[in-house]
Structure 1
Amino acid sequence: MTEQLIDVPPGLHGVVAADTAIGAVHGDEGYFHYGAYDAIELARTRSFEEVWWLIREGRLPSADELAQFRRSLAEQRRVPQGLKPLIEVVAAMDAPPLAKLRAVLSASSQVLNLAPVIDLDDDGRREQSLRLAAIVAPVLAALNRRGRGEPPVEPDPSLGHAASYLYETTGVVPTPVDARAVEQYLILTLDHGFNASTFTARVVASTGADVADAVSAALGALAGPLHGGAPSRALDALDQIGDPQRAADWVRGEVGTGRRIMGFGHAVYRASDPRSGLLREVAERLGGPLVERAVAIEAEILVTLAELKPGRPLPSNVEFYAGVVMETAGLPRDMFTPTFAVSRTAGWCAHIVEQAAAGKLIRPSSRYIGPPPTGR
């Protein structure tokens, strides 16, 4: 029997590939949520650990559950001894941070005793996904510090996940304001629908592979500049512009040569990216010359884009202020996209568990358009 093929839009836009209870994005409304909760409100009022629990469990934790979850994270975010020699080798390589992280996580299955998700029950998948996601922050920080010739900093169990990540990366205990700024960014980027990396993680999970395999594949998708590489690029643009009075001419030059304006426009949001508005508030709370210049340049870019592309809204997206927030809070620029991975790994892991429970291999068809086959 001949398989019935179904035409779908390029990039699978608008195609429902699976059911999820983790969250959803409503692009036309400029709104997204985790479970039943407005993600922006969660970022305003909750901790990263609370929201991580929510996307794992489908509800917010009680006080006792949250305390236990924080203890478990503090115990599991220490880099396993078996990975430390590999980190030394990989840190010395001339490679981007995400490639280094991918190399370490790809080799972590044995050290972390990870099993194929097809061989685990739901509790086992959840436990192993947490085991992997918990080490992403300290592994990234250790790779970064060893690459600079500095000793790794052990995680501080008294600090929250975001604050400990800042400490592990910089070697300095962050101020509560800086820690909260990074924490709010992490909450905003935990999950965001079936984006390229999340879908990649689910595809690999559907094969029954282990959590490290699925996360490593997702990291490969995240490495692409059209997905996760914009925070540092947006900040590079601010450096190129310099004086806000140069912004309009700079935009005209970029658009005239067909280059994208990083930090503006979004594949899903048609009106505004709600994450951008909150990150602007976070940036203004941090304050400083970079923030003031970013606010002024954003205004000029928005006016100029509206002039050059009437009828095509290109509002600032999450990446524009993400770089400003992270640099002001003390993170080095080459750690911006890796910081995105710190939170999104938790989101990927929730999707891996959900996809594995569905028990269905993702295996689409293709339409052959090459020369006719011979010998038939």
Structure 2
Amino acid sequence: MPPTTPTKPTNGATAPVDVPRGLAGVVVTETAIGDVRGREGFYHYRQYSAVELARTRGFEDVWHLMAHGELPDAAKRAAFIRRTAELRRLPEDVAAALPAIAAAGTRSGPLAGLRTALSLFGAAQGFRPVYDIDDEQRRADALAACAAVPTLLAALYRLGQGLEPVEPRTDLPYAANYLHMVTGSEPEPLRARAIEQYLISTIDHGFNASTFTARVIASTGADVAACMAGAVGALSGPLHGGAPSRALDTLDAIGTPDRIDAWVRARVLAGDRIMGFGHPVYRTEDPRSRMLRGLAEELGGPLVDFAIEVERGVEAVLAELKPGRDLHTNVEFYAGVVMELCGLPREMFTPTFAAARVVGWSANILEQAGDSKIIRPAARYVGPVPPVPVPKAPAPVA
């Protein structure tokens, strides 16, 4: 018998409301953190253009904006930089556990290890449910977790490679310190700034899957580390945070400029997705991709030249075979190029994304913690119509 939809409300209280699959375009709450205007190719943090912030301000300035709702003046910036830099060092019991976490995750990598490490960090720090603490303590927990994430990721990566972790430095800005901890050497200013701009551009981006996950968990009143660990789990999915290295894999697979048209045409006709192209929100060029292409061109080199040729070739084939779709590069395409040129290994591309997005998650967690309403949607049951009598248990087999 085919599934039948029951006529009674599925949650027993109020009638369910039909919404698009995946909640696409559904407004679930109000936020003062930021928004994405996909038809315009624009997104913002608070009242400022995110791309303009990336071009003109440092990471700590934008972190302060997300955490406190304002860009800092010189005195507040200095105090914030000092405070967050001092939070980079891990508790001894957490650092001591990282070799075992890294060893257990040799296949899954640093991002999977971060889920475990964040839970341990929250426990070691004595994080309490956001429901039970005030705004000041919530913010302190969020800052501590955000500051620890780059240290955790870099240490897990190096341990997985058989290398000793590099201790964080308090004299380097957020991005430069992160590169230093991953690579073991102090980065050149141009590369440090390129990564900083990438990190700023990916701090927040509307109610994406990981941000929404963080808010759902925060709505239960759970602690900050639990919220962030859940968000990391969502980010680890290849349809969300796992594409920057895959976009570079596309460049590797094409290999040379003369193969672009044939390779792309074959994939499009086969119905395959071209990694690094298209976005569920933007109907114009992704503004993050535009900015990152500029960063890549500043860094220069054969990889950048080839990426630009591939971009043109893919867009030409897509325009021919999928007219009216208006598909362009998304953030992952040039993000992979920039990170590769700045010395980050490919297995650290998505973890680096997490090192930025954790700041956006924390802002959303803090905002959600101020709302006592738990997020509890309904689902439409489409199984066999209940109630059906429960059959007798089978007799024991002799």
1:33 alignment partner, SS class: strand
Corresponding residue of 1:11: 22
Corresponding residue of 2:137: 124
Corresponding residue of 2:392: none
Selected match of 1:178 from 191, 194, 205: 191
- Deviation, 1:367, is 1.2
Kindly provide the CA deviation profile for residues 74-133 of structure 1, in whole angstroms up to 9, marking residues without a partner as x.
Answer: 100112211112211011123232111111112222212211000111111111011111
Corresponding residue of 2:65: 54
* Letter in structure 1 aligned against 2:81: R
Query: For residues 177 and 117 of structure 1, what CA distance do their matches in structure 2 show?
Result: 39
User: Does the 8 Å contact 2:129/2:223 carry over to 1?
Assistant: yes
2:39 alignment partner, SS class: helix
1:107 alignment partner, SS class: helix
Kindly provide the CA deviation profile for residues 222-247 of structure 1, in whole angstroms up to 9, marking residues without a partner as x.
Answer: 11111001100000000111112211
Name structure 1 gaps, 5 residues minimum: none
Matched-pair identity in %: 57
Kindly provide the CA deviation profile for residues 164-209 of structure 1, in whole angstroms up to 9, marking residues without a partner as x.
Answer: 0000000010000000000000000000000000000000000000
Kindly provide the CA deviation profile for residues 322-355 of structure 1, in whole angstroms up to 9, marking residues without a partner as x.
Answer: 0000010000010000000001011101000000
Q: Does 1:275 align with 2:288?
A: yes
Q: Does 1:247 align with 2:240?
A: no
Q: Does 1:101 align with 2:114?
A: yes
Selected match of 2:240 from 227, 238, 255: 227
Query: For residues 131 and 183 of structure 1, what CA distance do their matches in structure 2 show?
Result: 20
Corresponding residue of 1:337: 350
Corresponding residue of 2:3: none
Name structure 2 gaps, 5 residues minimum: 1-11, 390-398
2:36 alignment partner, SS class: strand
Query: For residues 289 and 87 of structure 1, what CA distance do their matches in structure 2 show?
Result: 38
Q: Does 1:32 align with 2:43?
A: yes
- State how 1:196-345 maps to structure 2 within 5 Å: 196-345=209-358
Please, what is the CA RMSD of the aligned residues? 1.1
Query: For residues 2 and 363 of structure 1, what CA distance do their matches in structure 2 show?
Result: 12
Kindly provide the CA deviation profile for residues 235-268 of structure 1, in whole angstroms up to 9, marking residues without a partner as x.
Answer: 0000111112211111112122221111000000
Change (3 A) 1:2 1:131: closer
Query: For residues 111 and 103 of structure 1, what CA distance do their matches in structure 2 show?
Result: 12
Kindly provide the CA deviation profile for residues 267-303 of structure 1, in whole angstroms up to 9, marking residues without a partner as x.
Answer: 0000110000000000111111111111111111111
Corresponding residue of 1:44: 55
- Aligned residue pairs total 376
Q: Does 1:110 align with 2:123?
A: yes
- Deviation, 1:359, is 1.6
Query: For residues 28 and 188 of structure 1, what CA distance do their matches in structure 2 show?
Result: 18
Corresponding residue of 1:193: 206
Query: For residues 155 and 109 of structure 1, what CA distance do their matches in structure 2 show?
Result: 19
* Letter in structure 1 aligned against 2:21: P
User: Does the 8 Å contact 1:112/1:132 carry over to 2?
Assistant: no
TM-score by length of 1: 0.98
* Letter in structure 1 aligned against 2:205: H
- Deviation, 1:2, is 4.6
User: Does the 8 Å contact 2:35/2:205 carry over to 1?
Assistant: yes
Corresponding residue of 1:359: 372
User: Does the 8 Å contact 1:182/1:325 carry over to 2?
Assistant: yes
- Deviation, 1:139, is 0.6
* Letter in structure 2 aligned against 1:260: R
Selected match of 1:151 from 159, 164, 178: 164
Corresponding residue of 2:7: none
Query: For residues 32 and 207 of structure 1, what CA distance do their matches in structure 2 show?
Result: 28
Query: For residues 79 and 259 of structure 1, what CA distance do their matches in structure 2 show?
Result: 43
1:110 alignment partner, SS class: helix
Query: For residues 88 and 82 of structure 2, what CA distance do their matches in structure 1 show?
Result: 10
1:25 alignment partner, SS class: strand
* Letter in structure 1 aligned against 2:206: G
User: Does the 8 Å contact 1:302/1:315 carry over to 2?
Assistant: yes
* Letter in structure 2 aligned against 1:342: A
Corresponding residue of 2:178: 165
- Deviation, 1:21, is 0.5
Corresponding residue of 1:348: 361
> Bigger radius of gyration, 1 or 2?
2
